[in-house]
Amino acid sequence: NAGVTQTPKFRILKIGQSMTLQCTQDMNHNYMYWYRQDPGMGLKLIYYSVGAGITDKGEVPNGYNVSRSTTEDFPLRLELAAPSQTSVYFCAVKGAGGAGTGELFFGEGSRLTVL
Amino acid sequence: TQLLEQSPQFLSIQEGENLTVYCNSSSVFSSLQWYRQEPGEGPVLLVTVVTGGEVKKLKRLTFQFGDARKDSSLHITAAQPGDTGLYLCAGAFYNQGGKLIFGQGTELSVKP
């Protein structure tokens, strides 16, 4: 049981390049999230999805795009990468328990550096 | 815009001391969670509180949800070096669907 799988784990990008962070779950839950975390700080919500075909902006959506065509996959796309996007990105799935009470299960994180 | 204010941001204490971490918002939470994160890993859930005034205990950790559901605290009794880590509160708000936002985190260091 893999849970939440993120790829890649590490990536170095040049300014202006684009890339997609992949997130796949095998838990069959509807709610999925993308967060970014800067060193020693909390997590900032980028985008989230409450089910296939539905996405919504979080606290820091600028410079990112998402799609949710299936329950399993929730990719995060970075267009025109900037140094400010250097961070660790976490994908999370909310388990059973309702909109606010389910436990978040996190992937291992993707460490992105933009030079 | 809902914001979670978490304090203190850093805490360095000796083994055996007690400590309290606070999480506040100007908006009413529909529920609030506390997570603990170790370096290089994702956060792991400690507790979920839903009812105003609720108190939950997890060994030496005591979690309290304010009566007005705008604040929460985490109290650790007799801290141990194994408690070292980043503690995060995460809140859900009414009429915000599945949105879940985190506080800035409290970096706790417990020295032997």
Segments forming the whole domain that contains residue A50: 4-108
Question: Residue length, chain B?
Answer: 112
| Residue A7 DSSP label | E
Residue A115 is assigned to a structural domain of this protein: no
Closest residue of A to B94, CA-based?
A: A100
Give burial (CB, 10 Å; 0-12/13-18/19+) of A33. buried
What confidence tier does A108 reach under pLDDT thresholds 50, 70, 90?
A: very high
Distances (CA, A) of A37 to B7, B68, B80, B112: 18, 29, 26, 29
Option in A50, A59, A99 nearest B101 (CB): A59
* Three-state secondary structure string covering A25-93: ECCCCCCEEEEEECCCCCEEEEEEEEECCEEEECCCCCCEEECCCCCCECCEEECCCCHHHCEEEEEEE
List the domain range (segments joined by +) for residue B57. Answer: 5-24+49-107
B30 contacts on A by Cβ (under 8 Å): 99-100
Q: At residue B87, does pLDDT exceed 90?
A: yes
- In angstroms, the separation between the Cα of residue B88 and the nearest Cα of chain A is 7
pLDDT at res. A100: 62
Domain assignment present for B20: yes
What pLDDT, on the 0 to 100 scale, is given for residue B99? 87
Residue A56 included in any domain: yes
Over 70: is that where the pLDDT of B59 sits? yes
User: Is residue A114 a part of any domain in this protein?
Assistant: no
Whether B41 maps to a domain, the answer reads: no
pLDDT higher than 90, residue B60: yes
What confidence category does residue A99 fall into, taking pLDDT thresholds of 50, 70 and 90?
low
Q: Is residue A58 part of a domain?
A: yes
Alpha-carbon distance of A21 to A73, in angstroms, equals 11
Task: Write down the mean pLDDT value for chain B.
Answer: 93
pLDDT digits (tens, 9 = 90+) for A29-43: 999 999 999 988 899
- Which amino acid belongs to residue B58? L
Q: What is the torsional sign of CA B74, B78, B83, B85?
A: positive
Q: Decide if A30 is inside a domain.
A: yes
In this predicted structure, the answer to whether residue A1 has a pLDDT above a threshold of 60 is no
> How many domains, in total, are found in chain A?
1
pLDDT at B92 over 60: yes
CATH number at residue B53: 2.60.40.10
Query: Given pLDDT bands bounded at 50, 70 and 90, which one contains residue B1?
Result: low
The β-bridge partners of B82 are none
CATH of the domain at A12: 2.60.40.10
Do the domain assignments include residue B17? yes
Task: Give me the pLDDT at residue B96, please.
Answer: 78
Domain count, chain B: 1
Give me B41's structure tokens. 């890993």
B35 vs A contacts (CB less than 8 Å)? 104
